[in-house]
Amino acid sequence: MTGAPRLAWLDCLRLLAGLSMLVLHCTADQNGGAWADYEVRDRIAPLVLRTFAYTARTELFIIISLFLLMMSLEKRQRNYSDTIAEQAERLLIPFAFWTVFYAFFTLLKAQHFGYFDSKLAALGEVKTWLSFAFLGTSKYHMHFLPTLFCVVLAYPLMRKAIDVPVLGGVALVLCLTSRWQFDQFIYPRLWDDPNILAIGRAVKIVTHIGYGMAAAACLGLWQRHGRKSLESWIPVVLYFALLVLAFKFLGTVETIETGRWSHNYLPGFWADFTMPAILFLICMLLGHRSWTPIFSRYAKFAFGIYLCHPIFLDFAEIFLRGQDLSPTGQVIAKIGFTLPTTVLGVALLARVKSLSWTIGLGGRPAFFVLPRFNRRPE
């Protein structure tokens, strides 16, 4: 509906999710680690910043995407095949483009960091491209698109939570509990198994359906109770938000001390995976407030920021290679370079009609449009 007012709080979340992922990736070392080669005191600032950035991780994008899908289906009913075709065009076509792009672009960083030959050799193997296509391994952030598409396949199940919102909360708790249990069982036993990544991804997809249920529940609450009547929930939700943030900081202290990511700290796990839902709920509860239109103006670039920021982050890490900077100095330099160049690059892509579809803007070439299977009315 072109005349429908925008939900500025939702635009704020979209933009926040895109920017937080950029900051998140800038706060790790060049290998994606926790600055293990540096002193404890040197890790403090980068990892504390990472703690805040982690509250808006990719699961927030999943909640936003499914909330918008549920809202769209409430306004304009479509059959299952048409809905999935639309989502495939929106997610998988850009995914295919960026998969090929990053498969070869990554060679640039590999050349500077000494693993060019092995990276190039891998591109000649069929299993590498299968991994790129099905698991999104062409770059560290590409897993999100095929994961989201697979989660979307279960949207009819999620819609049940619109009418019974309590299902959303129950489903999220059960799914995250299952995720923890499966992870604790699978990874110690199958760490050296060549299929461990695929097995882990399957678990992730199945358990991430809980986020879709939570998104549908939020839509049901938004529609049923009205905007202002929900504000009374804010103190309770903020209380839980502070609790899980405290849990996250306890896990961060362990990471600062050891220089290793903490994967076995249960309170930290719950903090990581519930904070995106809590953040979404807080913004929804404040939805009736006056929000600056800047969020709505720039939210359209969030998808592009997420997809494109590794390009400029790679350049930043290449420039920083061999520089005698502390972790804090490196993080400042990486954010200072990556953020403005990514925003500029995405803005330029948005202006090129033949390429704007790669970041979710503009139409796609006709040969990319998937067929619809509309059923005749009976």
pLDDT digits (tens, 9 = 90+) for 200-217: 999 999 999 999 999 999
pLDDT at 231: 79
User: Which residues, at least 6 apart from 129, have a Cβ–Cβ distance to it below 8 Å?
Assistant: 103, 123
Cα–Cα distance for residue pair 248/55, rounded to 1 Å = 9
pLDDT at 289: 82
Q: Mind listing the pLDDT tens digit for each residue in 280-335?
A: 999 999 888 888 889 989 999 999 999 999 999 999 999 999 888 999 999 999 99
Cα–Cα distance for residue pair 41/78, rounded to 1 Å = 55
How far, in Å, are 299, 333, 339, 343 from residue 312 at the CA level? 20, 12, 8, 10
**Rg of the chain, C-alpha, whole Å:** 21
Cα–Cα distance for residue pair 227/215, rounded to 1 Å = 16
Q: What share of the chain is helix, strand, coil (3-state, %, to 5)?
A: 75, 0, 25
- For the chain, which residues score pLDDT lower than 70? 1-5, 226-228, 363-378
Cα–Cα distance for residue pair 69/309, rounded to 1 Å = 25
User: Which residues, at least 6 apart from 55, have a Cβ–Cβ distance to it below 8 Å?
Assistant: 20, 245, 248, 275, 276, 279
pLDDT at 375: 46
Q: In which region does residue 324 sit, left (phi positive, over 0), alpha (psi from -120 to 50) or beta (all else)?
A: beta
pLDDT at 353: 87
pLDDT at 321: 92
pLDDT at 332: 97
pLDDT at 57: 87
DSSP state of 359: G
**pTM for the whole structure:** 0.91
pLDDT at 322: 86
pLDDT at 288: 81
Exposure pattern of 210-227 as b/e (b: 16+ CB <10 Å)?
bbbbbbbbbbbbbeeeee
